[in-house]
A and B are shown apart, each in its own frame.
Chain A
Amino acid sequence: MQVKSRKVDLAEGDLTPMIDMVFQLIAFFMVLINFAQTEANDRVVLPQSVLVKPPEEALQFPIVLHVTQDGAIILGGDSYTVDNLRIGLSRELAVIRAEGKSPADANVIIRAHKDTAAGDVQEVIRVAQDQELERFALRVKEDRS
């Protein structure tokens, strides 16, 4: 019996359009990825205001303080209370002084949760004032509605 060799017909799809699309998607996400969001903290939901606009240039010598809803203060990944915040601020100020600047040159950025007690924010400002800091920025989300 004669057996004829059968050729298996391999259907190969054209991958070019898919690869094009995938590369375009990657380019899109790469352009839009925002590394500056490292300032944000998941435990803080900022209040909104129609008046604020994103600053044209970044603040000099920023010290970012997150104040959570329960009044905890987060500085550089460490959690503080009003009583021991002075220690964290001293560390930050040591860096600023090492650069030949004074505490008055530093900008304290306060990112407080919208439902936190206003008194907690005032206490943070008071502790920072004790450390000779005097420039504060109350960070707010832009309200475009």
Chain B
Amino acid sequence: MKVRNRQEAVKHEVNMTSMIDIVFLLLVFFVMTFKIVEMEGDFSVRMPLASDESGAVDDTELPIKLRLRADDSGMLTSIQLNEISLGVDFASLQNTVIGLVGSAVPGDDAGEGPEIEIDTDFHLRYEHVIESITAVSGYKEGDQTVKLIEKIKFAKPRR
């Protein structure tokens, strides 16, 4: 049978242009604001203001003294740990700390363990201070971190 006047099926096409515009705007926004996250961590330093009524101090409680010297440009010129001169080698510093602290690995309580006082020249670059804190705080053994000294404080700033 012949069918006449068959109407063509009407196609309803959604206009995509505006949606694509917005989607591309969103994409550009995210691309422009995207920033690769740098992993950051902290070295904790607990330094309450020293009280004047501390009284007699037991010699065994005296902190290990770390002296860092710098030239005028802020470069490290010498490391001294308890009067032991170590040049500018952080590996030597770490080995000496291991020798001093020995197997006295800090316990679970963060308040336990030896203390170190960092006395640095004013102009020393902060990067070197962090290097020295890294050396005395511990070292990596595979994926494990072996802790050495967790209690860190600074001496008075030298002007």
Contacts from A to B (Cβ < 8 Å):
15, 19, 22-23, 25-26, 29-30, 32-34, 37, 46-55, 59, 67, 104, 109, 112-123, 125-126, 129-130, 132, 134-142, 144
Tell whether, in the assembled complex, residue B120 and residue A122 are in contact, meaning their CB atoms are under 8 Å apart.
yes
Contact partner, A117, options B27, B30, B44, B126, Cβ 8 Å:
B126
Question: Which one of B56-64, B96-104, B151-159 is at the interface?
Answer: B151-159
Closest to B74 in A: A117
Interface check B33, CB cutoff 8 A: yes
| Residue among B40, B45, B131, B134 with most chain A CB within 10 A | B40
Q: Indicate whether A142 sits within 8 Å of B41 (C-beta atoms), given known contacts A33-B34, A50-B134, A122-B154.
A: yes
Q: Indicate whether A134 sits within 8 Å of B48 (C-beta atoms), given known contacts A51-B140, A109-B42, A140-B130.
A: yes
Tell whether, in the assembled complex, residue B41 and residue A126 are in contact, meaning their CB atoms are under 8 Å apart.
no
Tell whether, in the assembled complex, residue B137 and residue A118 are in contact, meaning their CB atoms are under 8 Å apart.
no
Tell whether, in the assembled complex, residue A125 and residue B126 are in contact, meaning their CB atoms are under 8 Å apart.
no
The 9 closest A-B pairs by CB, nearest first: A52-B41, A119-B122, A29-B30, A137-B42, A122-B157, A142-B39, A134-B48, A114-B127, A47-B130
Contact partner, B43, options A26, A116, A117, A140, Cβ 8 Å:
A140
Interface check B138, CB cutoff 8 A: yes
Number of interface residues of B (CB under 8 A): 50
How far, in angstroms, from A122 to B39 measured CA to CA in the complex? 24
Give B26-53 as 1s and 0s: 1 = Cβ < 8 Å from A's Cβ atoms. Answer: 1100110111011111111111110000
Contact partner, B20, options A19, A32, A33, A122, Cβ 8 Å:
A19
Q: Indicate whether A123 sits within 8 Å of B157 (C-beta atoms), given known contacts A50-B134, A134-B49.
A: yes
Residues of B within 8 A of A30 (CB): 30
| Residue among B24, B41, B44, B154 with most chain A CB within 10 A | B41
Interface check B91, CB cutoff 8 A: no
Tell whether, in the assembled complex, residue B125 and residue A136 are in contact, meaning their CB atoms are under 8 Å apart.
no
Tell whether, in the assembled complex, residue A136 and residue B46 are in contact, meaning their CB atoms are under 8 Å apart.
yes
Contact partner, A26, options B27, B45, B122, Cβ 8 Å:
B27
| Residue among A32, A121, A140 with most chain B CB within 10 A | A140
Contact partner, A22, options B23, B68, B124, Cβ 8 Å:
B23
18 extra interchain contacts, Cβ-Cβ under 8 A, other than A22-B20, A134-B47? A26-B26, A30-B30, A33-B30, A33-B34, A104-B48, A114-B127, A114-B130, A115-B125, A115-B126, A117-B125, A118-B125, A119-B124, A135-B46, A136-B46, A136-B47, A137-B42, A140-B43, A141-B38
